[in-house]
Amino acid sequence: MRISYLPSSESKRGILESTSKRVRMIFSVMASPNRIDILRILNNKGPLTYSELKSLAGFKSKKESGKFAYHLRKLLKQSLLGLNKSERRYTITNLGKLVLNLARQIEEKSIVESGKMYVRTSHQTIEEFNSHKIIQSLVREANLSLEQATKITEEVENKVYKLSTSYLTSRLLRDCVNNILLEHGLEDQMNKLIRVGIPIFDLDKMLNNSSNSLRNGINDLIIEISRDVLSEYFVASFQKDILDMHYNGEIHLDTLGHWGIGPDTVFIDVEQVKNNLDLKGNFLFLPRTSDQSKLNLFLPIIISLIQREVSKEIVIENIDKILRDYQMDKIPEYLSLSLISSSISMQHMNSPFVTLVISAKEGEGLLIQMLKGYALYVEQVALPNFGLFITHSKSLTKNLVSEVAKVIKLGGKIVLSQESILSSRGIRKLNDVSMLPNIVLNSLTINLPRLAYQSNKDETYFRTKLALLMKPSISALLLKKEMLSENIRHGILPALSNVVSFPEVGSTTTIVNIAGLNESIYDILGYSKKDGFDTVKKVIQTANDILLGFSKNNTEKFGVSMINDGSSSRFVVLDSDKFGKLTHDFQSYSQGVIITREILENDNPISENLRQLDNLMTGGLYIRLDITGASEQELIDIINMAIPTIPYFDIFEKQFICSICGKRNIKSGVCLSCGSSNLIEINQLPSKM
């Protein structure tokens, strides 16, 4: 039998007295701000040594050692701290955490009872509301006069003291200030004070990942948030008329989240980069090497550096000159490993596309080995972010064409060009004779159908509107260059500054893109195919005439392009909203030229027209050879027809990828690897929005 003994009344009294004494002792410990700080530090930092804790608690001089040791003994005696004797580290106990929580509650309650207004700041502190800080902010950030700032602050104070809350936040105060500025018609000043960020609702949606858009996990979330925040920030740098044109759909400012951070396209030569690969005090986690013969190390370093500061494409020349010194049968494995290693260094799916320029002049043997190496890479990557750009003299050998066809059918991306070097998107390298890097700004597109709708089918009026729109478009891109130069001065773009040596060397090319040229001339203005091409040439020449005026007053080169970007579908939606039911049901506007086998086989002036159009498009012309559905042998035939006829073309085949397993093994709408029908249509060169 188990017997329980109840405490006597004297025992109860003794327990109560002992407990009361313990509580009094704990409260006496709490009476010291220094001891509360020690508890907070250990709660936040975890176990610390004596010297670490002493330094963090602010007892840095030898004279204060005795005082610190006294506080530590008090905490240990009341079991608020513990000491791990083997590791000689102090930790906060559960009782210490309870006391720390109680101290926090007492502090907050005392603030509430005091009747004063306190602000939870963005620096994670609580401070008493001070109207002078608002005045200082209005003068410093919004450039208001002291008299204006004082008047606005008085109105803010009146609103604040009418609130029923005892806590304010810096965000609430800033919103209150901005509302009053708006009421006074001070919109420009308000924009300087506005916070940038994303709504909590949108962030919740991202974290829930309901659309399965975070395919790269938390990294995609961080990049998406930073892009949204930076978009808001850069929008504030534009003049109102530029922003109005963008929001109205007259122009499209592409990749706003990257607008002032870096260029859109960069052409670099490995020889030039090798001689300037001085990382200095930046990127200390990367190995220091300029040995380009070690391509599997050198290429990933270059990609890792430059892809952080370029938004759309990196074009690397003379990779073949490095590989020609290697044993021929080792090149495929060596190149594929270099590309795979470089892929690992890429931050996300929408990293800038990387184009490797190689020349058919280097010889058939080397080029075939490089194509085989590229094929090995493509076989192991679901969505290749590297492509090959092959320059030739209007012909390729039978073996080379056969190898190109094999790579395309595997899912690779190959562009063929008659000598000229362009990006895979069609952006022209205007300083073609120089080994120096070429920085290209090409993230602005003009909506030609919008101008055509507004011109009442008057071709002269249409070209006049284009000329008027070209000037602010160029000004916006020049503003982008100024922002890049400013960021380089601040050390924000070390790769461009130290590796590419921008802006000290090389050339900057500013290119205005146009969308919907075909729809504007043939559908909206109503020209026939027979006489419409002359009007097309007149429209492009109008743009070039405006650019010529800028070229005379600037050192950089200017051009007009017709390439694929993220503007086409946006323009169609905005035009549909503005003009109601359009007379033409466009799904998207033309961006560049699409060539099919049927066009090549028919007797038409496509070759001469393309050559004239290519010459007029000083900034670049995107030409897509669409071979979707062709067999490997049919593809060989198509390429052989296109090579002598078309000056440049991107070989494109519509492909799908399984959203479940990531494989490209698709047939009849079903993944042959996992059996899923959840497929995603992919573009081998994704448009950046």
Which of 473, 446, 477 lies closest to 589, judged by CA?
A: 446
- pLDDT by residue (tens digit) across 518-534? 999 998 998 988 788 99
Compute how many other C-beta atoms are within 10 angstroms of the C-beta atom of residue 409.
15
Is the per-residue pLDDT at 684 higher than 50? no
Which of 296, 317, 305 lies closest to 388, judged by CA?
A: 317
Q: How far apart are alpha carbons 409 and 416 in whole angstroms?
A: 16
- What is the mean pLDDT of the segment spanning 47-65? 84
Residue 647 φ then ψ, to 5°: -65, -30
Q: Which residue has the higher pLDDT, 242 or 32?
A: 242
Instruction: Kindly list the distances between the CA atom of residue 110 and the CA atoms of 105, 113, 198, 287, in Å, as whole numbers in the listed order.
Output: 9, 5, 34, 55
Residue 238 φ then ψ, to 5°: -85, 150
Beta-carbon-side half-sphere exposure of residue 139 (alpha carbons within 13 Å): 13
pTM of this structure:
0.76
pLDDT of residue 423: 93
Q: Which of 99-108, 173-182, 214-223, 468-477 has the highest mean pLDDT?
A: 468-477
Which of 623, 263, 292 lies closest to 438, judged by CA?
A: 263
Which of 369, 270, 276 lies closest to 321, judged by CA?
A: 270
Which of 528, 542, 576 lies closest to 465, judged by CA?
A: 542
pLDDT of residue 232: 80
Least confident of 355-359, 472-476, 599-603, 639-643: 599-603
Beta-carbon-side half-sphere exposure of residue 58 (alpha carbons within 13 Å): 9
Q: Domains of the chain: which residue ranges?
A: 11-111, 115-195, 265-309+313-418, 438-591, 654-689
- 95, two tokens: 């009782």
Q: How far apart are alpha carbons 638 and 654 in whole angstroms?
A: 16
pLDDT of residue 624: 93
The share of the chain scoring above pLDDT 90, in percent, equals: 25
pLDDT of residue 212: 67
The DSSP output letter for 197 is -
pLDDT of residue 685: 41
Is the per-residue pLDDT at 452 higher than 90? yes
Strand pairing partners for 82?
Answer: 91
Is the per-residue pLDDT at 587 higher than 90? no
Q: Which residue has the higher pLDDT, 641 or 220?
A: 641
- What is the mean pLDDT of the segment spanning 67-84? 87
Confidence tier at 689 by pLDDT (50, 70, 90): very low
- What is the mean pLDDT of the segment spanning 622-644? 92
CATH class name, domain 11-111: mainly alpha
Q: For residues 644 and 393, is the Cβ–Cβ distance under 8 A?
A: no
- pLDDT by residue (tens digit) across 371-401? 999 999 999 888 889 999 999 988 889 999 9
The chain-wide mean pLDDT, for the chain, equals 82
Confidence tier at 584 by pLDDT (50, 70, 90): low
